[in-house]
Chains A and B, each alone.
Chain A
Amino acid sequence: MQIAHFVKTITPNRSAPEPAAPNHSSEPSSKSSPLRRCAASPAGRAFAALLLVLIVGMIFNADGAFFKIGTHRDALRQASVYGILACGLTLVIISGGIDLAVGSMLALVAVACAKMAIQFGWSAWLVVPICLILGASCGGVAGFVTARLQVQPFIATLAMMVFARGLAKYASGGMKVSTAVRNPDGTYRYVNVPPLFHFVDNRILGDNVSVVTIIFLLCILVAWLFTAKHRWGRYLYAIGGNEEASRLSGVPVVGAKMFAYVLSGAFAAVAGICQAAQEQQGDPEAGAGYELIGIAMVVIGGTSLMGGRGGIGLTLLGVLTIGYLDKILSINAVPEAGRLMMTGVIIVIAVLTQRRSR
């Protein structure tokens, strides 16, 4: 709520003045075409942005590279880890909060996962639940601090971001946890890449879809079930829309907010496992800045940073937009410097377009 207030002060004029009682004859949308109505909705705009990016890709197709299935597979694979983080961020942002800790929690889980799966050689059936619990607990602590102790979510999750990064470095001894395991006598031995990592880093359906992309889509599904179909999702929208009114309507505000941060932590854990599997190591420096890309994806989709409005479908569109944008720039050999600058410009444009819809 505090972050929402902060945003409100820097972007005024977003709430429309109270309009007159609508009736059928004067409602503007009844006059406009369905197409225009679609373009005025957040989903329509997010879809238009994605379409625009894809058209750009078709024009600058890098000698047909854009039309190869492998390009799309890679674009989706590269966007997946960010996308999984964006699922959790969507829940938090709908509730009017923000979660800056997801990148660090990703690194912590990646380190823990690599340690357990590679060095201890534990089974995936043990490693995955422990990782999920680890991520969910970190999210829960941040959620407790912001929801119960009423610290601003920006500060509470900033603290968790720093703390989790430190914990990741402590657990890994500051070094990457890889298949090269140090023996007590100082020499190194190499262990096999665990089957969990092979499974996650694989491709299926005739080599056409990465497993991480499937995991990302499953995360979208889970987040959608909660936001669109479950009581607690409704609570998140209500809290993001008006926390005080929600509280006075009996909404368990503290519980629902903590729920959002716990899920955000759990999604960060899923992303951490994917990251570790793809890199075949646990890097304590992984995921730095990912939280900001995740937030950008959510916002480009059209979910309001003030809370209360948005949805996971929009986030899917946002993830695809940024993912494809990055891929198109990279197949056209735009150097990273240019890619970053372009992404910054696109974020501003996308958010400005979203604003006009209200």
Chain B
Amino acid sequence: MSGITKRFGSASVLNNVRFDVCSAEVHVLAGENGAGKSTLVKILAGVHTDFEGQIKINGREVRPRTTLEASALGIAVIHQELSLIGPMSVADNIFLDRMPTRAGFVQDKLQAEQAVACIRQLGLDIDVREPVERFPIAVQQLIEIAKALSQNAKVIIMDEPTSALNAPEAERLFALIRSLKERGCGIVYISHKMEEIERIADRITVLRDGEWIGTTPASELPVTRLIEWMVGRKIEELATRNAPPLGAERLRLENFSVFPEGRNPVVQNVSLSVRAGEILGLGGLQGSGASELFVGLFGGYGHATRGATYLDGKQFRFTAPREAIEAGVAFLTNDRKATGLVLSLSITANVALAALPSLSPGGWLRPTREHAAAVNATAPMRLRAASLDMEVNALSGGNQQKVALAKWLQIEPKVLLLDEPTRGIDIAAKREIYQMINEWTARGAAVLLITSEMPELLALSDRILVMHRGRPTAEFSRANATPEAVLGAAMGSSAVPPSGNHASACKLPIL
């Protein structure tokens, strides 16, 4: 691939990126969240078709327009979320788009035989007539790889394949990758985990903010330099922090754990404390559990939490968002469309939603009160909307985010949980949101901030707690937080941060 540029609207997500895979190699694609890795993969897989640049396979220029075309070209993608159809059998899944038929009827026996041959190659011995969903994730992943092989895939792209695997399962996957390599497959491997990259990479390409930073043999890129490549950008001076004098302790968590799906904790034994007026940044990459920590703390998982929560010194346990809101906790979710806003309601109705009981005493709505509240909340944010009665659906991303924030302003929060408050919005809107966060802390609110943008995290946070796979790995003060140290801790790396002082690192043991 060369000269790949991809734009979403006016924002370019990939800018003149090049990338190549040779047969029989593992090529790691590395970069922070939002660096453009997934977009690049989607272009290869035929999901995004409107891009600039060219893709060549064995010297021939191609342009996959659908995922089917991509797989015909020998490109297979093993996604983070598997794309198998749960209730269908293993054999049906492997041959979903090209089942052997005679006069239109599926030849089950033949298909099963071929499927068995397919999975045997991977050293797997399972009943191919069983529905896929009965198998553990690790086996499902192998089935997906078997499917890719049966399509004669020459390039297999694996997007964080080990994120759902335990250590022995990951070990088996690495063994499989080695054997695929020997067979001549080119493997594109995306991972956030340092030790994996160190172990399996033959070559590494680093992307940062949609730019190609470099491609080099893995042996020439030690972990410390890899991290430098990934974060080495100038901190934009748009995020400024005017830290107010700190007040008393607002929120304290002791050994807080979250179990959204029953047994496996997504957040494990997190202890933290935030004071009034303070911003505590939560650093971490995908799967760090920080978002789940917010949802669990806010009561979004009901009773599926353990540990103690103190708000202003009093112990609380929120089992429903309503309780948290009444106690003065606000939660800006990381996906305004899916979980933040009701797009079909007006701006006014969205702004009023969380504080509706107090805005409609006796149960009857008071349109003038709601309108006044919406005007008050949105006026300082420079919301660009024709009318406060228009559907939120019609607003741009930045303006939608302001509406979501305005909603939480209504409850006069003591604690603000901000999950990616500036995701996908333009710089002007970002600056306004930073300003509001500053104002809130000046009024005595305690802020917990998750952001995948390193400069933002460093610029806004008074302290940073880094998490990796659900556990806290390090805590930094504003003075000793460097991008390299934070990213290293977020990747669970034991590598000593290259720059910055050694005392900067970890209060808590690293995994």
Q: Write the residues of chain A forming the contact surface with B, with a CB cutoff of 8 angstroms.
A: 15-16, 18-24, 27, 228-235, 237-238, 240-242, 244-252, 308-309
The answer to whether B396 touches A248 (Cβ under 8 A) is no
Q: Is the CB of A249 within 8 A of B354?
A: yes
Query: Which of A22, A231, A250: most chain B CB closer than 10 A?
Result: A250
Verify if B365 is at the interface (C-beta below 8 Å from A). yes
23 sample A-B contacts, Cβ–Cβ < 8 Å, listed by A number: A20-B9, A21-B398, A228-B365, A231-B356, A231-B357, A232-B363, A233-B365, A234-B353, A234-B365, A237-B344, A237-B345, A237-B349, A242-B343, A244-B338, A244-B339, A247-B321, A248-B300, A249-B353, A250-B321, A250-B322, A250-B324, A250-B325, A252-B322
Residues of A within 8 A of B72 (CB): none
- Given known contacts A247-B321, A248-B298, A249-B321, A238 and B353 CB-to-CB distance under 8 angstroms: yes
Given A229-B364, A237-B344, A308-B345, residue A246 in contact with residue B357 (CB < 8 A): no
User: Could you say which interface size class chain B belongs to?
Assistant: 35 or more
Contacting residues, chain A, for B333 (C-beta < 8 A): 245, 248
Q: How many Å lie between the Cα of A15 and that of B363 in the bound state? A: 32
Q: Which residues of A contact B322 (CB under 8 A)?
A: 250-252
How far, in Å, is B4 (CB) from chain A's closest CB? 23
State which residues 294-329 of B face A: CB under 8 Å: 298, 300, 321-322, 324-326
Further pairs besides A242-B338, A245-B339, A249-B325: 5, Cβ < 8 Å: A230-B364, A231-B365, A241-B344, A249-B353, A252-B322
Once bound together, how far apart are the Cα atoms of A32 and B374, in whole Å? 28
How far is B385's CA from A276's CA once the two chains are assembled, in angstroms?
52
Pair A21/B396 contact, Cβ less than 8 Å: yes
B386's partner among A20, A22, A235, A246 (CB-CB below 8 A) is A22
CB-defined contacts of A248 to chain B, threshold 8 Å: 298, 300, 321, 331, 333, 339-340
Whether B354 lies near A18 (C-beta < 8 A) is no
Known A230-B363, A230-B365: A251·B384 in contact at CB below 8 Å: no
Contacts of A231 in B (CB 8 A): 356-357, 360, 363-365
B342 touches A245 (CB 8 A): yes
Whether, in the assembled complex, B397 has its beta carbon less than 8 Å from a beta carbon of chain A, the answer is yes
* Complexed CA–CA distance, A232 and B357 (Å): 10
Q: Are A21 and B395 in contact (CB under 8 A)?
A: yes
Output the nearest chain B residue to A310 by Cβ-Cβ distance: B344
Return the contact of A22 from the options B326, B331, B394 (Cβ within 8 A).
Answer: B394
Residue from A16, A23, A308 within 8 A of B342 (CB atoms): A308
Q: Could you tell me the distance in whole angstroms from the C-beta of A241 to the nearest C-beta in chain B?
A: 4
- Asked if A22 contacts B356 (CB within 8 A), the reply is no
Residues of B within 8 A of A249 (CB): 321, 325, 353-354, 407
Q: B31-47: which have CB < 8 Å to A?
A: none
Residues of A close to B321: CB separation below 8 A: 247-250
A248-B331 Cα distance, complex, nearest whole Å: 8
What residues on A are CB-neighbors of B349 within 8 Å?
234, 237-238
Contact with A along B139-152 (1 / 0, CB 8 A): 00000000000000
Q: Are B342 and A237 in contact (CB under 8 A)?
A: yes
Q: Indicate whether B399 reaches chain A with its CB closer than 8 angstroms.
A: yes
Q: Is the CB of A238 within 8 A of B342?
A: yes
Contact of B395 among A22, A240, A244, A245 (CB under 8 A): A22
Query: Given the interface contacts A230-B363, A244-B338, does A251 sit within 8 Å of B395 by beta carbon?
Result: no
